[in-house]
Amino acid sequence: MDAPAHGSGPPTDRPERSRRALVAGSVGNFIEWYEFGVYGYFATVVAARFFTPEGGSEAEALVRTYASFALAFFFRPVGAALFGRLGDRVGRRPVLILVIVLMTAATTLIGVLPTYATAGALAPWLLTLLRVVQGLSAGGEFGGAVSVMTEFAPPGRRGLYGAWQSFTVALGLLGGAGAAALLATVLTGAQLNSWGWRLPFLLTLPMGLGALWLRLRLDETPSFQALRTQTQAQEQAQEQAQAHQARQALPAPPAREVAKAIALGAGRVMGWAAAGYTFLVVLPSYLQSSLNATFQQALVATVLANLGFAATIIPAGLLSDRIGRRPVMLTGALLVTVLAVPLLNLLQDGGTSTGLKGAAVFVAGAIVGLMAGPGPAMLSEMFPTSVRYTGLGLAYALSNAVFSGCAGLIITKTIERTGSVDIPAYYAAATCAVSALALLTLRETRTDAGAEHVQEQKRQAEKES
């Protein structure tokens, strides 16, 4: 189901409303990915603090850390379904306010958790519980943020506006990497492992309060307001016996059609999810555990990869408004498929210069940006207003649960068992190859602005007849 895309709302919408929606939608995303980045960058430290009982091995502790990481991702689809349903029924704004409160609270509490040395076996369970809350809230974040940004977008600008969602992912990961790098520079190893790792998590509190203030000032989207207005008109026209049915939102597409679109959407972004986490989050632990890099060297490589990622996201989104989502995303998927192994081999080669290694990780991140830029708008355009929050949120969450959340676990465990240090490249290339096939089925909808409301009216008329 590649649904005709929505319009940008009534002509009375002022540009500042669109800009306010862009900022309010983006800021929660920044916090979410800042935290996930921090957790990934400090994976080895977290493993030592929470998952290493006396006599346990470091490798096994790292696997358990990534298992907790993956668990949070598997709760994202639950959050996407739960909060998506609420967002499609009561509005985008109240649900986005709720999820930013949950995300901020869970992340801040990680910063004050007792470690294994203090609380014993209770410590990893408490950490895992907070990761579950983060997964639920993160699942509700993406669908709402992208719905807000694209539903407020001016005609012909959905790709650009949606790209800001991905751009704030890059900023969040860079913020996490920057915080980790700063702490690794100013603190000794003992201080970092003792209490310094807590500081990036505690920093989420003031950021979350700022995000909450922005979202409290956010207006409901024009598309949802139009949907609610039409629903209210239907309620007034219905007889009392039909009141309960009339209170429901405009009829959604058949459940089977929505499920098919969710599965197809997940396939189209699985390469983005897998390659993104492989190159942007898992990279530090991989470089340390498999290539014997120092913590500082691994963070520098990650910063370069995220800079490359950030550099191409907005241009890719803008380009997709001109030539389409499919060619831009397909180019990114095919480039990862072809170049993942050669780029990783450059990092493995001891004779490769530092400059060339830096260029390799920068290029790897930049290629992922080609998929991430148009991705949010592409998903948004696959679903009508009545199921958009739920549909695009579930497609993204399912893909991330399987191919991002499990990336660290799969890569670490497979390298441990096979001894092959090429596993990250194989993983990214294989998933991007599948995404390329799914993207070939994509029908372009970037020029269909304004058609969605007409389609919903037609669907309602057909049902009543």
- Condensed to tens digits (0 to 9), the pLDDT of residues 25-83 reads 888 889 888 887 787 777 777 777 887 665 455 666 666 666 666 677 788 899 999 99
417-426, long-range: CB < 8 A, 24+ apart: 421/290, 421/291, 421/344, 421/348, 422/341, 422/344, 422/345, 424/278, 424/282, 424/283, 424/286, 424/340, 424/344, 425/340, 425/341, 425/343, 425/344, 425/345, 426/340, 426/341
Token code pair at residue 302: 């990650």
pLDDT number for residue 330? 96
Enclosing domain of residue 438? 15-222+249-464
Q: Where on the phi/psi map is residue 324: left (φ > 0), alpha (ψ -120 to 50), or beta?
A: left
221-235, 256-270, 322-336, 444-458: range with lowest mean pLDDT: 444-458
Average per-residue pLDDT for the chain = 81
Backbone angles phi, psi at 29, to 5 degrees: -65, -40
**Separation CA 314–CA 297 (nearest Å):** 28
Domain assignment present for residue 167? The answer is yes
Token code pair at residue 395: 């497609």
Q: Angle CA(101)–CA(107)–CA(112) in degrees, nearest 5? A: 125
Domain assignment present for residue 7? The answer is no
Domain assignment present for residue 118? The answer is yes
49-63, 157-171, 307-321: range with lowest mean pLDDT: 49-63
Token code pair at residue 43: 């994976």
Per DSSP (E only), the strands in 152-230 are none
Average pLDDT over residues 307-328: 94
Domain assignment present for residue 236? The answer is no
pLDDT number for residue 313? 95
pLDDT tens digit sequence for 434-459: 999 999 999 877 665 434 443 444 44
Domain assignment present for residue 143? The answer is yes
pLDDT number for residue 237? 61
Average pLDDT over residues 145-149: 86
Percent of the chain with pLDDT over 70: 82
Contact call for residues 271 and 370 (beta carbons, < 8 A) = no
pLDDT tens digit sequence for 89-107: 888 889 999 999 999 999 9
Domain assignment present for residue 293? The answer is yes
149-153, 206-210, 216-220, 221-225: range with lowest mean pLDDT: 221-225
Is a pLDDT exceeding 50 seen at residue 12?
A: no
pLDDT number for residue 233? 62
pLDDT number for residue 325? 94
CA Rg value for the chain: 22
pLDDT number for residue 246? 45
Total count of domains within the chain = 1
Domain assignment present for residue 366? The answer is yes
pLDDT tens digit sequence for 335-353: 999 999 999 888 888 888 8
Average pLDDT over residues 277-304: 78
Q: What is the pTM of this model?
A: 0.77
43-47, 157-161, 250-254: range with lowest mean pLDDT: 250-254
Confidence label for 5 from pLDDT (cuts 50, 70 and 90): very low
Of residues 57 and 334, which shows the higher confidence score?
334
Is a pLDDT exceeding 50 seen at residue 465?
A: no
- Helix, strand, or coil (residue 448): coil
* CATH number of the domain bearing residue 336: 1.20.1250.20
Confidence label for 318 from pLDDT (cuts 50, 70 and 90): very high
200-204, 241-245, 360-364, 399-403: range with lowest mean pLDDT: 241-245
Confidence label for 254 from pLDDT (cuts 50, 70 and 90): confident
Is a pLDDT exceeding 60 seen at residue 295?
A: yes
Average pLDDT over residues 360-379: 94
Is a pLDDT exceeding 50 seen at residue 462?
A: no
pLDDT number for residue 9? 43
Domain assignment present for residue 383? The answer is yes
Q: At what angle do helices 255-277 and 325-348 cross, to 10 degrees?
A: 30
Residues near 408 by Cβ (< 8 Å), separated by ≥ 6?
40, 43, 66, 69, 70, 277, 281, 282, 285
Backbone angles phi, psi at 294, to 5 degrees: -80, 165
151-155, 326-330, 426-430, 443-447: range with lowest mean pLDDT: 443-447
pLDDT tens digit sequence for 393-435: 899 989 988 888 777 778 878 888 888 889 999 999 999 999 9
